[in-house]
């Protein structure tokens, strides 16, 4: 029993010591990547941030991030990833967990959006659909289709969802867990499935 209490105390001490460093470290990483971040940033866990010379990352106020194995533990945890070669903008009061934002062209996230754990958002196919072109690495990357992803205010994305290129998700809409979003979603609707379909209108 004594060992149990020692373990609990040790774990708590580690959290007290380590947890406060995550937000300052994230601020430094965003700064080094020339990202503009508003006030009230709160980060739990380590991030992976890579903004290229062509990339642009703008984040609003009160952005909250859970990242990695020890925060918002719901399974299939990963680091939160920002890979930006296009324009990525995130509004105010947004919360994400273990999310991968892969922006080759344009991703825009509105205000008061919640994105569940292990969600991935892609604005590109990454590769050409033609197998001949795909065998040429340079041409493959240059010709991959890229279309913007737009997420309006008050959207809620369930955990383990995949959102693909060219999708607009309307204001107040909800995406069920483990969905694959391949087409535009109007405002005030609940969608789920693979591919995601409308299952309910929000009154």
Residues belonging to the active site: 127
Beta-carbon neighbour count of residue 44 at 10 Å? 18
| DSSP per-residue string spanning 149-181 | EEE-TT-EE-TT-EE-TT-EE-TT-EE-TT-EE
Please tell me the distance from the alpha carbon of residue 87 to that of residue 189, in angstroms, as a whole number. 27
> Cβ–Cβ contacts within 10 Å for residue 190, how many?
18
Choose among 127, 128, 112, 119: nearest CA to 97.
Answer: 119
Q: Which residues contact 71 (CB under 8 A, 6 or more apart)?
A: 44, 45, 77, 97
């Amino acid at each position: 029993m004594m060992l149990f209490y020692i373990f609990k105390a040790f774990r708590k001490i580690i959290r007290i010591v380590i947890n406060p460093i995550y937000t300052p470290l994230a601020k430094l990483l965003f700064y080094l990547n020339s990202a503009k971040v508003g006030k009230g940033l709160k980060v739990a866990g380590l991030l992976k941030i890579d903004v290229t010379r062509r990339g642009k990352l703008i984040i609003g106020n009160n952005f909250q991030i859970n990242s990695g194995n020890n925060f918002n533990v719901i399974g299939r945890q990963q680091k939160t990833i920002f890979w930006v070669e296009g324009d990525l903008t995130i509004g105010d009061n947004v919360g994400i967990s273990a999310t991968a934002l892969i922006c080759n062209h344009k991703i825009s996230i509105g205000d008061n959006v919640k994105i569940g754990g292990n969600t991935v958002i892609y604005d590109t196919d990454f590769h050409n659909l033609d197998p001949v072109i795909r065998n040429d690495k340079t041409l493959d990357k240059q010709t991959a289709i890229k279309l913007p992803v737009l997420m309006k205010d008050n959207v809620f994305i369930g955990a383990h969802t995949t959102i693909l290129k060219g999708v607009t998700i309307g204001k107040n809409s909800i995406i069920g867990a483990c969905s694959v979003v391949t087409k535009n979603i109007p405002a005030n609707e609940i969608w789920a499935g693979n591919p995601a379909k409308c299952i309910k209108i929000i009154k």
